[in-house]
Amino acid sequence: MHKTAVTHQLSPSSWSRFEECPRKYWLSRQRLPRKASMPASLGNAVHNSVEDICNLDVTDREDSEVGWLSKSMKEILDRNWEKEKQIFLSTPRHPSWKPQQISKARQGFVGALNILFSRSNHGKKKFSEVSIGNWKQIQSIVLLNEGKLISEDGKLIGRLDLLVDDLDEDGESKGWIVADLKTGKPPKDILNERVNRQLLFYRDLLKVTTPNHPKVSAEGWYSANQEIYPAEGESVLEDAIVAWAGMKLTLEPLQATPNSQSCGFCEFKAWCPTWWVARRDGILSDSTTFRDEVVKLIRFDDISGVALFERMSAIEDKGEVAESNVQFGAFIKDQALKQITHLLSTGYDGPMFLGSIRADGKVMHLGDWSEILKWSPLLKSIRED
């Protein structure tokens, strides 16, 4: 039971988003149409598969049984992959699904299990030689998998991937390890600051919510190179509480801090007027191969997908735009063609946001990798609570 009802909660990802750009965080809380991405789906499939295999019920099976692991892994991953595909395709905004990426997910799953073997003193084993008896031992060191943590005041939340016993050479526990499974690119040397802080956050939240805990450490487990990266540092919970106070959801949008890194993959551009002003002012580049535009449609042929657009120029930071006389042609196909056709069928003739268009000389290309949305700068919260 929490002492006070809180209006918002801080998780490591919302904290990072808030730091990158407060407006990005504010927009992420407006329940705008979500966007799916292949790396996120791949990561989820691996995480859920590790969870499922750790929870596999093997209690009634013979300890000597071998040759079962690869088959179980395949069944589990195939099932989770299919689930992720359905979620991806039913997310309102999504690029095309890449079925071939299941091989990357498979590698991630194998990598994660190899780390789990090494942490349970089994070293790297041939999967065909892992017995049910070995697996029971491995399961016994997994204390928690996909556990939700919440601070007593309800302000801080986190989701643990794995909590495992930290074994010494004799197989005795000398503490706990909070392990966060990472399917992205491993760091060169040490964890970057944000990931390090995320892991420390889980460690510290676990400590304050678990009385009588032993020594707790935190590690990033990178499945791509099967390496373990320890997180180092003092408690981050005080900083988290300070950040929490600034993350209160206001009626007015929070400040936008455009820069190439934060804006690069920001999925809220159609609702944010500030990046377009930053483009006008040269803070963001307008000459990258993949770029975004705010345009007016001049001509469109829905059979060939050939369009002529006029770039709209930003007037000020409220999202108003004006004609510019700068025009460019574009070839539109696949998903982007469906989107523009749908938009026009609703009678819409206002400014459009073109996301991730590919520049080829003076001609632009839009396809499954792109998005065409209404230009909808959001200047007041649309949340009802």
User: Based on CB atoms, which residue is closest to ligand SF4, 240 or 270?
Assistant: 270
Enter the DSSP assignment of 93: B
Interface with ligand SF4 by CB under 6 A: which range of 46-54, 266-274, 331-339, 368-376? 266-274
Q: How many residues bind ligand SF4 (CB under 6 A)?
A: 14
Residues 6 or more apart in contact with residue 325 via CB below 8 angstroms: 310
Token pair, residue 61, equals: 């099976």
Q: Exposure string (b/e) for 296-330, b if CB count within 10 Å is 16 or more?
A: bbeebeeeebebebbbbbbeeeebebeeeeeebeb
Token pair, residue 50, equals: 């590790």
Query: Is residue 274 part of the contact set for ligand SF4 (CB under 6 A)?
Result: yes
- Rounded least distance, CB 377 to ligand SF4, Å: 10
Residues 6 or more apart in contact with residue 242 via CB below 8 angstroms: none
User: Based on CB atoms, which residue is closest to ligand SF4, 220 or 253?
Assistant: 253
Residues 6 or more apart in contact with residue 294 via CB below 8 angstroms: 276, 311, 312, 314, 321, 351, 352, 353, 354, 375
- Rounded least distance, CB 295 to ligand SF4, Å: 17
Query: Is residue 132 part of the contact set for ligand SF4 (CB under 6 A)?
Result: no
User: Based on CB atoms, which residue is closest to ligand SF4, 223 or 274?
Assistant: 274
- Rounded least distance, CB 290 to ligand SF4, Å: 15
Query: Is residue 266 part of the contact set for ligand SF4 (CB under 6 A)?
Result: yes
Among 258, 351, 355, 377, binds ligand SF4 (CB under 6 A): 258
Among 268, 309, 353, 375, binds ligand SF4 (CB under 6 A): 268
Between CA 81 and CA 215 the distance in angstroms is 36
User: Based on CB atoms, which residue is closest to ligand SF4, 55 or 255?
Assistant: 255
Cα–Cα–Cα angle for 179, 228, 109, rounded to 5 degrees: 70
Among 272, 297, 352, 378, binds ligand SF4 (CB under 6 A): 272
User: Based on CB atoms, which residue is closest to ligand SF4, 27 or 240?
Assistant: 27
- Rounded least distance, CB 255 to ligand SF4, Å: 9
- Rounded least distance, CB 76 to ligand SF4, Å: 36
Between CA 9 and CA 7 the distance in angstroms is 7
User: Based on CB atoms, which residue is closest to ligand SF4, 21 or 73?
Assistant: 21
Q: Exposure string (b/e) for 205-239, b if CB count within 10 Å is 16 or more?
A: bbbeeeeeeeebbbbbbbbeebeebebeeeebbee
Token pair, residue 77, equals: 């991953």
Contact between residue 269 and residue 350 where contact means Cβ atoms under 8 Å apart: no
Interface with ligand SF4 by CB under 6 A: which range of 6-14, 75-83, 199-207, 257-265? 257-265
Among 262, 341, 376, 381, binds ligand SF4 (CB under 6 A): 262
Between CA 8 and CA 250 the distance in angstroms is 11
Interface with ligand SF4 by CB under 6 A: which range of 86-94, 113-121, 175-183, 262-270? 262-270
- Rounded least distance, CB 311 to ligand SF4, Å: 17
Hey, which residues between 74 and 113 contact ligand SF4 (CB under 6 A)?
A: none
Q: At what angle do helices 38-54 and 69-90 cross, to 10 degrees?
A: 140
Interface with ligand SF4 by CB under 6 A: which range of 3-11, 75-83, 134-142, 269-277? 269-277
Query: Is residue 275 part of the contact set for ligand SF4 (CB under 6 A)?
Result: yes
Between CA 74 and CA 106 the distance in angstroms is 8
Token pair, residue 283, equals: 């803070």
User: Based on CB atoms, which residue is closest to ligand SF4, 118 or 257?
Assistant: 257
Q: How many residues does the chain have?
A: 385
Hey, which residues between 16 and 45 contact ligand SF4 (CB under 6 A)?
A: 21, 23-24, 27
Between CA 375 and CA 319 the distance in angstroms is 8
User: Based on CB atoms, which residue is closest to ligand SF4, 163 or 256?
Assistant: 256
Report the interface residues with ligand SF4, using CB under 6 A. Answer: 21, 23-24, 27, 256, 258, 262-263, 266, 268-269, 272, 274-275
